[in-house]
Amino acid sequence: MKDVSLFVDGSCRGNPGPGGYCAILQANGHEKTLVGGDDQTTNNRMELMGVLAGLQMLKRPCAVNIITDSQYVVTILRGGKAKANRDLVQALQVAATTHQITVQRVAGHSGHALNERCDRLAYAEATRRMSSAG
């Protein structure tokens, strides 16, 4: 089973408002960056979308270490109940079933290079969507 590191972050300009997410996958010396977003969303939805987008890129079962600064994502991935965003939580649970998932929380804005890069790219996407909306 291939080891994969999945770094994720989400951003929202207003909550709700235009949002963006970023997922960076690393495995076997290769790296793939995914960026997306929504014109009207929340920060928690964007955090979950980063994880979901990353997991959906994997073609076969992997040992995935998810690195996030979101306590919400950590709680959901460790089996916590979702009061909101049930659609994404359910999709995330389905996407995770074929993988061995571990989750690691890092402090946001603490100098962790890949978390900081995810943060910048997610924020840039949210800003782009805000600019194009108005």
4-51 pLDDT tens trace: 999 999 999 998 999 999 999 999 999 999 999 999 999 999 999 999
> 9 and 47 in contact (C-beta within 8 Å)?
yes
Is 9 noted as a catalytic residue in this protein? Answer: yes
Of the pLDDT bands very low, low, confident and very high (cuts 50, 70, 90), residue 134 is low
| Active-site position among 20, 69, 99, 125 | 69
Out of 17, 38, 47, 99, the active site residue is: 47
* Catalytic residue of the set 38, 50, 119, 125: 119
Q: Is 10 a catalytic residue?
A: yes
Are the C-beta atoms of 47 and 21 separated by less than 8 Å?
Answer: yes
Would residue 31 show up in a list of annotated catalytic residues for this protein?
A: no
Q: pLDDT value at position 107?
A: 83
Choose the catalytic residue: 3, 10, 31, 125: 10
Considering 3, 14, 31, 109, which one is annotated as catalytic? 109
69: enclosing H helix or E strand: none
Task: Indicate the domain borders of the chain.
Answer: 2-133
- Span 80-119, pLDDT tens digits: 888 999 999 999 999 999 999 999 999 877 778 899 999 9
What pLDDT, on the 0 to 100 scale, is given for residue 84?
93
Two tokens, residue 80: 């916590």
Annotation marks residue 3 as catalytic: no
Class of domain 2-133: alpha beta
State yes or no: is 30 an active-site residue: no
Considering the entire predicted model, what is its pTM?
0.94
pLDDT at 133 over 70: no
Residues 26/45, Cβ–Cβ less than 8 Å: no
Looking at per-residue pLDDT, the higher value among 82 and 126 belongs to 126
Bridge-based pairing of strands 62-68 and 30-41 is unpaired
